[in-house]
Amino acid sequence: MKKAYTIALANQKGGVGKTTVGLNLASAFHLGGTETALVDADPQNTSLRWATSGAETLGIAVTSLAPAGNKIGNEIAKLQRKYDLVVVDCPGNLEDPRTPEVLKVADFCLMPLGPSPADLFSTLAMIREVAAIRRRDNPGLNSALMLNAVNGKTKMRGEIIKLLEEQDVGTHLLKCQIAQREIYRQVFALGTTVHECTRYMRGLKEARAEIEALAVELSTFIAETKKRG
């Protein structure tokens, strides 16, 4: 029986790119031949609305499981039996009971954040929550931060790594990062993703390359953890 690897996009801060990174990443895996489901766990239903509005159709299946509330873990478990990969877009506040329930059944918590110390400080509560869930409920839960909407030549990466070390929260920062690009807003408005978009737009090639780099970094990590058993 299948047991899909499950990646949750979580950060209680809104607007950091959970939905953007989640959908584009899931779509890249889907087109690469991995049977992938995207779960919208956010009662604001941004992923679902993204996938069902706009001019283009999206190949990847998006299921809203937000109505399951704190029973969302059971619903995700059902999808885990049908797919190879489940990507979950979590709600943007720490009080929402769905986020911890998702993290209890997830393998990896990916926390996008903007490239600023302020974003790191507002992500610390999330990092601690993930650590608490790992201790209490899900010892196999891995996690990492990822910089999103990085603009041009910002040197924030080193700064963020230094702050992370000072805070001693035991979470690492992915090597790959996503640039700030208009194309991410454009494909969102069209109801598609950088990989599934059928028209040529500026920045598409670069966006596809960085989303693929993220997929490769995560796949490598997943393969290594599976080898370690």
Ligand X SMILES: Nc1ncnc2c1ncn2[C@@H]1O[C@H](COP(=O)(O)OP(=O)(O)O)[C@@H](O)[C@H]1O
Binding site residues, ligand X, CB under 6 A? 14-20, 46, 92, 148-149, 178, 180-181, 184-185, 188
Q: How far is the CB of 146 from Mg ion (least distance, A)?
A: 15
Which of ligand X, Mg ion, none sits in contact with 197, Cβ below 5 to 8 A by type?
none
* CA dist list (Å): 112 to 29, 57, 187, 215: 18, 26, 19, 14
Q: How far is the CB of 50 from ligand X (least distance, A)?
A: 9
Which of Mg ion, ligand X, none sits in contact with 149, Cβ below 5 to 8 A by type?
ligand X
Q: How far is the CB of 48 from ligand X (least distance, A)?
A: 12
**Site residues (vs Mg ion, CB under 5 A):** 18-19, 46
Which of ligand X, Mg ion, none sits in contact with 16, Cβ below 5 to 8 A by type?
ligand X
* Sheet with 108-113: strands ordered across: 61-64, 36-40, 85-89, 5-9, 108-113, 142-147, 172-173
Which of ligand X, Mg ion, none sits in contact with 185, Cβ below 5 to 8 A by type?
ligand X
Nearest to ligand X of 154, 225 (CB atom): 154
Nearest to Mg ion of 19, 186 (CB atom): 19
Which of Mg ion, ligand X, none sits in contact with 43, Cβ below 5 to 8 A by type?
none
Q: How far is the CB of 149 from ligand X (least distance, A)?
A: 4
Closest chain position to Mg ion (CB): 19
Nearest to ligand X of 95, 166 (CB atom): 95
Q: How far is the CB of 133 from ligand X (least distance, A)?
A: 19
Q: What is the dihedral of CA 127, 130, 132, 133, to 10 degrees?
A: 170
Q: How far is the CB of 33 from ligand X (least distance, A)?
A: 25
Nearest to ligand X of 14, 84 (CB atom): 14
Which of Mg ion, ligand X, none sits in contact with 188, Cβ below 5 to 8 A by type?
ligand X
